[in-house]
Structure 1
């Protein structure tokens, strides 16, 4: 307690006290470095000193990817809200309302379409801030809708994954999204369209067991945790110590599960280059096929 709270009347106190945002300074989990929040935002939520990639808000990620931060938000289908009438310490419907208010999104996946360095793409972003990015019916439908939109527009599909796995509140309905999204990946392949997966921290559980590991190219952000079961569970099961850096992006790249690890500042250019190469090759093949048919 101080003299302001003890002596000064409340109305005058409000003029004397300047409200300071709680997140004015952000501490790096890796180095302990304190970074001013505006500097962190300008650096794409990468800590300047350590290079640690913090979690990036969905809107800022979309703004950083699309040319002039201009993109079209794609609507996602409505699904049953609470198919199992699930309740733990609170009702599942109440949880959904809470996270929708917190994030401003209807569920854990947001879709957008636009140009990335002149290349038309459809992008899906999985939001870890919405129930841990868990895969439920709404998230599965959103991903499927994004893939169908990419097929209809004949453009590459890019997904940024971040998830703790399947959504337990939806039980088997959540697990069914794994084969459903896998079938749509096959449709993208049949249409000869690029499917690029960007693995961000963390990507685990049923998401890793389905669409997150089915891309034509797998890119990971530095230091991202990627795996199915947690490292502690694996250690307890096999009763052995795991190697240093196990399940980290760099370790997976060394062992062939990830094609490249790309810094966030280079992500847009890398994705645009890959999409351009894939689509150019596809157009060349289509032209050759058309010439062969004509002959």
Structure 2
């Protein structure tokens, strides 16, 4: 106990309890090291003044993408801990911690709303939920999003963010890769656009499946996109990788990505692409974000 603590009465000390101060009041930009006030970061759609696109969850993504209101679609339930997996803690404990942290049942969230006047089904992958890992629940959510798009006759836009397959579900996780391709094929059978927006990071089995099967591939600036990470590749080939290797701009130059788009410009870009693919005229939209409607 320091001298100031000894002079401060308990009642006064409680008035300034650390719990009254948000832990994320200031956020450090990974690029510049600049401290950004959280309100300013939110006003800039979680893009720092240096241009770094911070990782965001489904709530923020829906808010930034849809014109006005949107309706969330519940993801299907799946078997819990089918392999009874345990490392340093049981798999159900990890799931419970991730659900408490994100307020979501799993790494995927589905919503339907309008993007620049075009009704669209949107699927968002949340990296905050166990690294956005692809497991049975995420696979079922992807199929559900495809089915919703087919039923509603809407395009499907998927925002990817993942470290790969979920190891706690073993081969059951890997089975989701071919299953998602079947969902994409159903969209193509019904002549519905499938657009992928690659966000930081998109790696592993997600990159090896639905993330690279879009009709159009858009990426946010600076996003890490690849199968294995750059450190693993360098250790394997024992060579230094080129500057910016596996980043959005590098992949755009190599033809793996169609367009790199700033987060604030994504709705307009998506709207233009969807109208062209659906052969619809341009609409004058007064964009105003709002709270989500009830599903």
Q: TM-score, normalised by structure 1?
A: 0.92
Residues 168-212 of structure 1: CA distance to partner in whole angstroms, max 9, x if unpaired?
000000000000001111111111110000000000000000000
* Deviation, structure 1 residue 232: 1.8
Match of 1:40 in 2: 41
How far apart, in 2, do the equivalents of 1:153 and 1:206 lie?
28
Residue ranges of structure 1 left out of the alignment (5+ in a row): 282-295
CA RMSD of aligned residues (A): 1.3
Match of 1:25 in 2: 26
Q: Give the SS at the match of 2:111.
A: strand
How far apart, in 1, do the equivalents of 2:217 and 2:38 lie?
30
Q: TM-score, normalised by structure 2?
A: 0.92
Match of 2:285 in 1: none
Bigger relative contact order, structure 1 or 2, given CA contacts below 8 A and separation 6+? 2
How far apart, in 2, do the equivalents of 1:133 and 1:16 lie?
37
* Deviation, structure 1 residue 17: 5.2
More helix by share: 1
> Is the 1:81–1:93 Cα contact (8 Å) retained in structure 2?
yes
How far apart, in 1, do the equivalents of 2:236 and 2:94 lie?
33
Larger radius of gyration: 1
* Deviation, structure 1 residue 243: 1.1
Residue ranges of structure 2 left out of the alignment (5+ in a row): 281-295
Alignment of 1:14-93 (within 5 A): 14-15=14-15, 19-48=20-49, 50-68=50-68, 70-93=69-92
How far apart, in 2, do the equivalents of 1:219 and 1:61 lie?
15
1:113 and 2:112 matched: yes
Q: Give the SS at the match of 1:67.
A: coil
* Deviation, structure 1 residue 40: 0.3
> Is the 1:199–1:219 Cα contact (8 Å) retained in structure 2?
yes
Q: 1:251 to 1:81 in 2, by over 3 A?
A: same
1:179 and 2:178 matched: yes
